[in-house]
Amino acid sequence: MMDSPENMMKVIAHAWEFLMFATVIITVTIFAIYSVLRVKQYYHRPKHSKSRKEHYCDMCQVRLFPGVIHSVDKGIWVDRYFEVRLCLTCEKLKNFYERETGKKPSSYDVLIEWYEEKYCADCTSKGACKERKGRCDKILESISVEEGETAL
């Protein structure tokens, strides 16, 4: 005995709903398994390196000549390779900022603005060091004193 066309349409509609539901469940399950298996989303290896060729500091754009020791941080961030090179001064500025604020600077400008707010408010030679952003002797000296160092 043949079913009526209306009944066949209802059966097809229910089958379609079941397939859509099953697709969602399978997708969520696969995503959950993938998330659990991805143990390392972030991996990095910071170190000091002596360059064999010319590089530039990624923060202040100072030229790093061959033979100059600088900071290199290579790694993986959410499945993408990254490499950050910093001169030792910028590394010291960045590390001090991270210790003081508890967060990483999103850019060199954010870092410099924070230092200017903290150290340049009562400075008498504001205009003289504007072009030397982040390399002001007073800022570098203040960081060294707060870290307990005798020289930068």
pLDDT digits (tens, 9 = 90+) for 62-92: 899 999 999 998 877 777 788 889 888 888 8
pLDDT digits (tens, 9 = 90+) for 5-44: 788 888 888 889 999 999 999 988 887 777 665 555 566 6
* CA 85 to chain CA centroid, nearest Å: 13
- CA-to-CA distance for 34 and 50, rounded, in angstroms? 39
> What's the number of CA atoms in the CB half-sphere (13 Å) around residue 73?
16
Q: Where are the alpha helices (DSSP H) in the chain?
A: 5-37, 88-101, 108-119, 126-129, 137-147
Q: Residue 147 — very low, low, confident or very high, per pLDDT cuts 50/70/90? A: low
d(CA 143, CA 146): 5
Q: What is the DSSP letter of 132?
A: G
Lowest mean pLDDT among 43-47, 56-60, 81-85, 134-138: 134-138
Mean pLDDT of 135-151: 64
Residue 1: its pLDDT value, please?
Answer: 46
- Buried-state track 14-36, b at ≥16 Cβ within 10 A, e below 16: eeeeeeeeeeeeeeeeeeeeeee
Token output for 33: 């398994």
More confidently predicted of 62 and 133: 62
Return the SS3 of 36: helix
> Is the pLDDT at 150 greater than 50, yes or no?
no
**CB of 73 within 8 A of CB of 90?**
no
pLDDT of res. 40 = 54
For the domain made up of 42-147, the CATH class stated in words is alpha beta
